[in-house]
Amino acid sequence: MASRKEGDAPRRVARKGRQRDREVVEESRAPIATRRLSKRYGDLVAVDNLNLEVQAGEIFGLLGQNGAGKTTTILMLLGLTEPSAGAARVLGLDPARNPLGVKRRVGYLPDNVGFYENLTGRENLRYTARLNGLYGREAEATIVEVLVQVGMTERADGRVDTYSRGMLQRLGIADALLKSPSVLILDEPTTAIDPLGVVEILDLLRRLVDERGLAVLLSSHLLAQVQSVCDRIGIFAAGKLIGVGTVAELARQFGGAGAHIEVGFEGLDAAGRTKTAEVLGKVEGIAEVRLPTGERDPFVLVVADEDSGPAREAVLAAAASNGLRLNSIRDVQPSLDDIYRIAVRSSGIAEHGEVAA
């Protein structure tokens, strides 16, 4: 009898914990909210105690290397896999208990979006419209609207097997918008798209958020793209969310990034850049000197302290005393690449996979 009571105690604690998690996410008004959301596959912890909120009218970037747990998180939010622990709410619905309700109200663009290649883009959208209960004039009007929004009207009647990767992603976003969702979830939406197509996709997402007030969760391993479009960023590593905020907030949170200064000089050849780097490296308060990537690019100086003022004055004095023709100096925000690496390093998690600048 005693052993049975001892065995019941952990289960009671676990039930109480799950109940508290559900109460916390139910109190949140955010379109996406999780509390200690976890997923385990045997000994592998894919997602570990994830606490997350994505607000209406924002693009939230879930940034992490391949295998960090981003896709597993998305699958739990959509009700496509059940969590091992914790709780989630999407538009007030529990994805584990009401996956169909979530799918009806959430637009989803998977990493590899699939369409019937022998049909046109418009015909594919008609098929999706029928699946969502849209028929006749209502369906046609909605299809025209989303095609205009994603800039696909001119190619809508071409077969899908003639589309580029970027066009497929546009069609995928149109497909996700057919149900007039309040939440849009996109898994690696710009992978394998040419640079111009990437810009167009990201501009489209920003416009949709501004016009519709959507809550957008975007997962990616591409630093520059996340930094360019996301309002807030969550740094994800080995299933753990190790930092959340704007780029500026993350830079302050992981203070090792320090302040950054861009300094430009005139008339420097290769030897001159090397000599200038040596001069700048001796300036008090400068922790690191990064050489220009191109002939006309500036040096980037990492300041040991968050206050860059004294370092800027020291740089000006060093340039004058060494006859360097300084033509620009300004504070710049630390790059997301710097922040990400410091965040991962400070968390004690080894870097694996790929995170591209």
> Count of domains in the chain?
2
Do 35 and 157 belong to one domain?
Answer: yes
Do 67 and 84 belong to one domain?
Answer: yes
Do 248 and 311 belong to one domain?
Answer: no
Do 88 and 187 belong to one domain?
Answer: yes
> pLDDT at position 79, please?
97
Q: What average pLDDT does range 121-144 have in this prediction? A: 95
**Where does a domain end: 252, 278, 306?**
252
- Residue 346 domain flag: no
Do 212 and 110 belong to one domain?
Answer: yes
Q: Which spans in the chain are helix H?
A: 2-27, 70-77, 99-105, 121-131, 136-150, 165-177, 195-212, 223-229, 247-253, 270-281, 309-321, 336-347
Per-residue pLDDT reduced to its tens digit, 283-308: 999 999 999 988 889 999 988 877 88
Alpha-carbon distance 124 to 146, whole Å? 13
- Residue 34 domain flag: yes
Do 241 and 296 belong to one domain?
Answer: no
Least confident of 96-110, 184-198, 216-230, 280-294: 184-198
pLDDT band at 350 (very low <50, low <70, confident <90, very high): low
Please give the torsion angle defined by the CA atoms of residues 27, 249, 56 and 177, in that order, rounded to the nearest 10 degrees: -130
CATH code at 287? 3.30.70.100
Alpha-carbon distance 137 to 197, whole Å? 31
Residue with tokens 């302290």: 305
pLDDT band at 6 (very low <50, low <70, confident <90, very high): low
Do 212 and 112 belong to one domain?
Answer: yes
> pLDDT at position 351, please?
52
Do 28 and 91 belong to one domain?
Answer: yes
Do 30 and 178 belong to one domain?
Answer: yes
- Residue 27 domain flag: yes
Do 169 and 304 belong to one domain?
Answer: no
Alpha carbon 244 to its chain's center: 11
CB-based contact 311:286 (threshold 8 Å): yes
- Residue 349 domain flag: no
Token digits for 134?
A: 């849209």
State which residues form the domain around 298.
259-333
Do 302 and 204 belong to one domain?
Answer: no
CATH code at 67? 3.40.50.300
Q: What average pLDDT does range 82-110 have in this prediction? A: 95
> pLDDT at position 352, please?
52
> pLDDT at position 356, please?
62
Per-residue pLDDT reduced to its tens digit, 183-217: 999 999 988 788 888 888 899 999 989 988 999 99
pLDDT band at 27 (very low <50, low <70, confident <90, very high): confident
Q: What average pLDDT does range 171-177 have in this prediction? A: 94
Phi/psi of residue 38, each to 5°? -140, 150
**Percent of the chain residues topping a pLDDT of 70:** 91
Q: Is 233 exposed, middle or buried (0-12, 13-18, 19+ CB in 10 A)?
A: buried
